[in-house]
Amino acid sequence: MGKYSEAIGIWTHTIGPVEHRITPQMGDNEKIAKIMDSYARNKSQVNYIKELNRLYFDFVNREDSTLTDTDKEELQLWIEVNQMQIMEDMLIQFKWSDKDTIAKAKEKAKENVEGDLLKN
């Protein structure tokens, strides 16, 4: 273990009974940056979530070479079902956001939805 490995650490990501241990690698943050940049330019939330889902799948697949084709299909479905939590956790883990900022954004989004519902 090198001088900085302990500081970088392993991301132990748990949702329900599923736990993934993801070791950050060079280029991971750049991949997230490209996804964030694409969203900023195109404002496509569908592509944004799709790309973050794909990146998380790649992270898990890179860590666990024993996944069968069935495991991979189930993983993709699990990711889709949990995509909002995964997105939040990934952005926090890779220092793109923090819990407070995400909580404020969720509250603002909720207020916007409620306001739109009251208008109709």
Q: What is the pLDDT of residue 1?
A: 61
Is 86:15 a contact under the CB 8 Å cutoff? yes
Mean pLDDT, the chain, whole residue set: 92
By C-alpha distance, which of 107, 71, 105 is closest to 91?
105
* Structural domain total, the chain: 1
**What are 56-70's pLDDT values in tens digits?**
999 999 999 999 999
Q: Whole domain around residue 30: which residue ranges?
A: 5-119
What 3-state class would DSSP assign to 12? Answer: strand
Count of C-beta atoms within a 10 Å radius of residue 48: 17
Q: How far apart are CA 111 and CA 117, in angstroms?
A: 10
Q: What is the pLDDT of residue 62?
A: 97
> How many percent of the chain have pLDDT more than 90?
78
